[in-house]
Amino acid sequence: MRSVQSILLPCLAGCLAAVACSPATSMSDPAPSAGDSRQAELDALVDSFAGGGGAPVTDERVLAAMRATPRHRFVPQEQQAGAYRDHALPIGHGQTISQPSLVAYMTQELKPAADDRVLEIGTGSGYQAAVLSPLVAKVFTIEIVEPLAQRAAAVLAELGYDNVKVRFGDGHLGWPEAAPFDAIIVTCAPDAVPPALVEQLREGGRMIVPVGPQNTVQELYLLEKRDGKVERRSILPVRFVPMTGGAVE
């Protein structure tokens, strides 16, 4: 048994002026915009998702959430110019943020509902959590690299995503105090699905998880929990950074 220290990060900044950072809690609110002069770039990117080959994104709620999420705010300054190309980008500490079409596809396949409580493993920049924020009731997200967890928590707070909670810790343990979850999204690749995550998924819940070793093509699986058992379906070949750590309860 190995214990891992995990801390809840304090909200580093409150919501600023309501107009500048309307909290993304409901799709019936006026959609927040990417701000600056970048909304046209973002809209053009999102328009391209419907033709996404094997991974088309057509869910209107998800497309609206993508249009409302300023990706450039989540990546390091030197990457901001390319934030609205459909590419993965480095976010420091050897980690990367997935290309936006994949974020959109995974979000769509998770079938987020307005009253869902969702767990994300691999906060990274906080971008995926921000995309989920307006689509669900609450997002819990865990990051194992402390400076990334801190930065993501700060950006999310600054932009008013007040239904997202960030924790620094090892996602292998899940977030037992907040379980059960309606949906779990894993954005780093374990060799096998961590048992704690299956336990913390509610009956009928959905999990999206890339599985497989680094430097190989991994399988993105959609898992559903039925009668305590997990049914899994492979939905896409992908490449994700590895899930590190490996703490077990």
Catalytic residues: 98
220 binds ligand SAH (CB under 6 A): no
Q: How far apart are CA 157 and CA 19, in angstroms?
A: 15
> How big is the site for ligand SAH, counted in residues (CB under 6 A)?
23
Nearer to ligand SAH by C-beta: 22 or 69? 69
Taking the complex as a whole, how short is the minimal distance between the CB of residue 139 and ligand SAH, in angstroms?
11
Q: Enumerate residues 19-58 that contact ligand SAH by CB under 6 A.
A: none
Q: Site mask, ligand SAH, residues 100-139, x = CB under 6 A?
A: ---------------------xx-xx-xx-----------
With b for 16 or more beta-carbon neighbours within 10 A and e for fewer, the 151-183 pattern comes to bbbbbbbbbbbbbbbbbbbbbbbbbeeebbbbb
Considering only residues 136 to 155 of the shown chain, the ones binding ligand SAH according to CB under 6 A are 142-145, 148
171 is a site residue for ligand SAH (CB under 6 A): yes
The residue among 125 and 200 lying less far from ligand SAH, judged by its C-beta, is 125
Beta carbons of 139 and 162 less than 8 angstroms apart = no
CB of residue 172 to ligand SAH, shortest distance in Å: 5
Which residues are 96's β-sheet partners? Answer: 90
Output the smallest distance, CB 189 to ligand SAH, in A: 9
Q: Based on CB atoms, which residue is closest to ligand SAH, 204 or 214?
A: 214
Closer to ligand SAH by CB, 73 or 172: give it: 172
Phi, psi angles (nearest 5°) of residue 104: -65, -45
Tally the residues of the chain. 249
C-alpha to C-alpha distance for 240 and 30, rounded to whole angstroms: 34
Q: By C-beta, is 206 or 231 nearer to ligand SAH?
A: 206
Cβ atoms of 208 and 230 closer than 8 Å: no
Residue 104 contacts residue 57 (beta carbons within 8 Å): yes
Q: Would you state the structure tokens that stand for residue 190, as one six-digit string?
A: 């374990």
Q: Tell me if 65 contacts ligand SAH by CB under 6 A.
A: no
Strand bridging mode 181-186 / 164-168: unpaired
The DSSP code for 243 is P
Matching residue, tokens 């307006």: 134
As measured in angstroms, the least distance from the Cβ of 98 to ligand SAH is 6
Phi, psi of 101 (to 5 degrees): -65, -30
Q: Which residues bind ligand SAH (CB under 6 A)?
A: 95-97, 121-122, 124-125, 127-128, 142-145, 148, 170-172, 187-188, 241, 243-245
